[in-house]
């Protein structure tokens, strides 16, 4: 099995960036979901409420993160990649049931997003001093996460998507599921059962299959919503009240490392007891 895609999503629920290599950190890929749009109460907003967010594209152009609407790439907002947290006011924000500290960016940035999305929103940043804990029922104590829904990484196999598409009248692309990591080879859904595995020589651990929601029904190129693929997945991938697709993952290393497209993936078929 081989790593075929690395996808970075700097701002939660906006368009992603396809990379050939990326830096792996404890709370996710470097820059992944370190920014987030919130409403006037500090609660996160996403494509669930504002499908148009899918059409906002992101690009890393040091020293900035650039954002633009896919239909008007000349209208760009530039956000500093390196942020000194003390330069911005502190705000408490909500991501699902979590409440954590973030930094509120400039008013001009808020105005750009509000204008383009036609809804009042503000952009916040997660500094290194914020330690939002991953779900302790599945992740080791002390594991932190960015503004991602619950865990630092999401991995999906190409054969898993191919199996789903064989059941759909109209196939869907991988970007519906917004994985950080995609691999070739293996059996459909085999990532469901992974515990410890390596990408190259970098250690990871699968901790929990990913429960999916209506966001996977948003077309990432048009922002249109439909019933698929959630309806089909619900017919054969339901576990209790959860529809599962992909595996949530944590990194087991200590020092930031680099993964690259083409790296070999090796699951531990016989993990040690109690791992």
pLDDT band at 136 (very low <50, low <70, confident <90, very high): confident
Nearest Cα neighbor of 209 from 179, 167, 245, 163 is 245
**Least confident piece of the model among 67-71, 136-140, 232-236:** 136-140
pLDDT band at 217 (very low <50, low <70, confident <90, very high): very high
Structure tokens at 176: 């519906």
Query: How far is it, in rounded angstroms, from Cα 14 to Cα 8?
Result: 10
SS3 percent helix, strand, coil of the chain, rounded to 5, is 15, 40, 45
Residues 6+ positions from 170 with CB-CB distance below 8 Å: 228
Average pLDDT over residues 133-156: 94
Please count the structural domains in the chain.
Answer: 2
Average pLDDT over residues 174-198: 97
In a domain, 18, yes or no: no
Give the domain range for residue 175.
2-11+136-267
Average pLDDT over residues 160-187: 98
Bridge partners, 96 (sequence order): none
Does the pLDDT value for residue 115 go beyond 50? yes
Does the pLDDT value for residue 39 go beyond 60? yes
In a domain, 234, yes or no: yes
Could you tell me if 168 and 246 lie in one domain? yes
Could you tell me if 41 and 105 lie in one domain? yes
Q: Chain-wide mean pLDDT for the chain? A: 96
Could you tell me if 119 and 145 lie in one domain? no
Bridge partners, 24 (sequence order): 29, 257
Q: What's residue 275's pLDDT?
A: 45
Query: How far is it, in rounded angstroms, from Cα 21 to Cα 3?
Result: 10
């Amino acid at each position: 099995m081989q790593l075929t895609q690395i996808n970075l999503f700097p701002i939660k629920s906006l368009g992603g960036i396809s990379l050939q290599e990326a830096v792996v950190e404890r709370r996710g890929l470097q820059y992944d979901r370190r920014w987030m749009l919130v409403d006037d109460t500090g609660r996160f907003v996403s494509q669930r409420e504002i499908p148009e967010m899918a059409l906002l594209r992101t690009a890393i152009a040091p020293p900035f993160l650039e954002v633009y609407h896919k239909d008007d790439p000349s209208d760009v907002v530039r956000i500093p990649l390196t942020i000194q947290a003390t330069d911005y006011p502190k705000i408490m924000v909500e991501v699902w049931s979590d409440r954590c500290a973030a930094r509120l960016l400039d008013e001009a940035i808020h105005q750009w997003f509000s204008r383009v999305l036609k809804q009042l929103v503000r952009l916040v940043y997660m500094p290194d001093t914020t330690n939002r804990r991953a779900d302790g029922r599945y992740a080791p104590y002390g594991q932190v996460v960015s503004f991602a829904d619950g865990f630092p990484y999401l991995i999906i196999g190409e054969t898993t998507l191919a199996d789903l598409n064989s059941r759909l009248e109209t196939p869907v692309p991988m970007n519906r599921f917004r994985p950080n990591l995609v691999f070739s080879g293996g059996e459909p859904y085999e990532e469901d059962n992974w515990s410890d595995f390596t990408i190259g020589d970098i250690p990871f651990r699968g901790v929990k299959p990913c429960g999916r929601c209506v966001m996977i029904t948003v077309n990432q190129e048009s922002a249109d919503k439909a019933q698929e693929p959630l309806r089909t997945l619900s017919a054969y991938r339901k576990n209790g009240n959860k529809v599962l697709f992909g595996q949530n993952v944590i990194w087991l290393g200590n020092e930031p490392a680099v993964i690259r497209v083409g790296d070999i993936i090796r699951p531990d078929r016989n993990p040690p007891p109690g791992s």
